[in-house]
């Protein structure tokens, strides 16, 4: 069971979007670049919800990868 939890944790962390062509994703309290427009990333939120039984993935999503840049202003 412990190995399964570790595998699920690794999959959840690798499945999150951390950056795109406009820059890095930011967390809830991250500093937004004033030149970029940010939106909440539905894929990362879905991954956090799906793996909510494992405590770390939702925390990782909220603190590090919640919003991603979608374009310039």
Give the pLDDT of residue 35. 94
| Cα separation, 67 vs 56, whole angstroms | 18
Give the pLDDT of residue 67. 92
| Cα separation, 64 vs 52, whole angstroms | 16
Tokens of 59: 């925390």
Angle between helix 42-50 and 2-15 (nearest 10)? 170
Q: Is 45 helix (H, G, I), strand (E, B) or coil?
A: helix
Over residues 6-64, the pLDDT tens digits come to 776 676 666 678 888 999 999 988 899 999 999 998 988 888 888 788 787 788 888 88
């Amino acid at each position: 069971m412990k190995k399964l939890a570790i595998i699920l944790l690794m999959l959840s962390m690798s499945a999150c979007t951390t950056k795109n062509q406009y820059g890095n994703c930011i967390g809830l309290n991250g500093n937004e670049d004033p030149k970029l427009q940010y939106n909440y990333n539905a894929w990362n939120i879905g991954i956090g919800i799906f793996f909510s039984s494992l405590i770390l993935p939702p925390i990782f999503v909220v603190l590090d990868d919640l919003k991603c840049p979608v374009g310039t202003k």
